[in-house]
Amino acid sequence: MKLDRVLDFAKLLLERAVQQGDITVDGTMGNGHDTVFLAQLVGETGHVYSFDIQEQAIHTTANKLETEHLQKRCTLVHDGHEQLDTYITGEHAGKITGAIYNLGYLPGGDKSIITQADTTIASLEKLFDMMAPEGIIVLVIYHGHPGGEAERDALMHYVQNLSQQKAHVLKYDFINQVHSPPFLIAIEKR
Ligand code: SAM
């Protein structure tokens, strides 16, 4: 057999956590791959809230969704994920079953614009309260770029100290590779 690569494992977890009609979050929209994936999982009756601070990400993702006829299922927010409670309100808050954050910089974009530990953690704290029981938050942690190590270390400290009464936290990591490959953290709300 072949072990699931990190991004494949992220998808597998989300496929298992998210049903048609569910509410989901893409915390880092980027080029829209995860937003499209989540939009397919939630079906016509579900919804994806997707966040990015870069205009370029919104344009690229909007175009992808239009091509796939998925735009009605998605709200693309041009704002930081740390503001997510401003955008996800009412009956959708508390009903989120799946979320993904692909951290780091926008592939093909400005490599100096990266996710930062303080805003990522602020976002996770708000999101955790809005998750449904057994909902899953997947973090794909890239740490090979300048600034990546600091975010990794702060995030690891944060997730390792989440109360085990509130969450199960998993690390999925290929441990014999060179060049700082990304690894995955999954947080299951109990
Ligand atoms: N998931 C994306 C995809 O499918 O292409 C890749 C995401 S990329 C690795 C990281 C993205 O996070 C960048 O587009 C960057 O602009 C965005 N970002 C950085 N800080 C952010 C913040 N505070 N809130 C939301 N997005 C942020």
- Mean pLDDT estimate for the chain: 97
- What is the pLDDT confidence band of residue 119, given thresholds at 50, 70 and 90? very high
Write the Ramachandran bin of 169: left for phi over 0, alpha for psi from -120 to 50, otherwise beta. Answer: beta
Of the candidates 97, 39, 48, 100, the residue with the CA atom closest to the CA atom of residue 76: 48
Q: How far is the CA of 100 from the centre of ligand 1 (A)?
A: 11
Atom of ligand 1 nearest to the CA of 104: 9
> Which residues are near ligand 1 (CB < 6 Å)?
28, 30-34, 51-54, 57, 80-82, 102, 104, 106, 113, 115, 119
The residue-averaged pLDDT of 103-109 equals 95
- What is the pLDDT confidence band of residue 164, given thresholds at 50, 70 and 90? very high
Write the Ramachandran bin of 147: left for phi over 0, alpha for psi from -120 to 50, otherwise beta. Answer: left
Atom of ligand 1 nearest to the CA of 54: 16
Burial of 29-62, coded b for 16+ CB within 10 Å and e otherwise, reads bbbbbbbbbbbbbbeeebbbbbbbbbeebbebbb
